[in-house]
């Protein structure tokens, strides 16, 4: 099964929200009251969408905070799985078999 390319949340921000609405990085940063470098770094995939940024984006674009956080979390999980990071953790962590789940 061929895997599709990972799409960073910043790319979705740019292509699905900013470009269709003619919003520049400078305008978005000013309207969100954050540094332009934060917007640029999110778009470049150099920075994650934090709770603070997700709250600002949710107000600005009339979305939920969870929309932005889920984009980021799903991206981070898939990236970790693809990189083998999760397999390394599985090989090093001993599972507690005595845990009782409610």
Residue ranges covered by each domain of the chain? 9-92
Count H helices, E strands: the chain?
Answer: 6, 0
Q: What is the pTM of this model?
A: 0.85
Distance (Å) of CA 56 to CA 52, 77, 90: 6, 23, 36
**Is the predicted pLDDT of residue 1 greater than 70, yes or no?**
no
pLDDT in tens, 35-85: 999 999 999 999 999 999 999 999 999 999 999 999 999 999 999 999 998
Q: Which CATH class is domain 9-92?
A: mainly alpha
Are residues 72 and 51 in contact, defined by beta-carbon separation less than 8 angstroms?
Answer: no
- Angle in degrees, 0-180, between the axes of helices 51-61 and 65-83, rounded to the nearest 10: 130
User: pLDDT > 90: what percent of the chain?
Assistant: 78
End-to-end CA distance of the chain: 36
Q: Residue 91: how many CB atoms within 10 A of its CB?
A: 7
Q: Which residue has the higher pLDDT, 95 or 101?
A: 95
């Amino acid at each position: 099964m061929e895997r599709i390319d990972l799409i960073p949340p910043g790319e979705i921000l740019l292509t699905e929200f900013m470009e269709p609405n003619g919003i520049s990085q400078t305008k978005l940063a000013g309207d969100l009251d954050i540094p332009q470098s934060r917007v640029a770094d999110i778009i470049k995939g150099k920075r994650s969408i934090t709770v603070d940024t997700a709250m600002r984006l949710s107000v600005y674009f009339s979305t939920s905070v969870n929309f932005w956080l889920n984009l980021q979390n799903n991206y981070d999980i898939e990236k970790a799985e693809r990189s083998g990071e999760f397999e390394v953790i599985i090989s090093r962590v001993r599972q507690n078999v005595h845990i009782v789940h409610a």
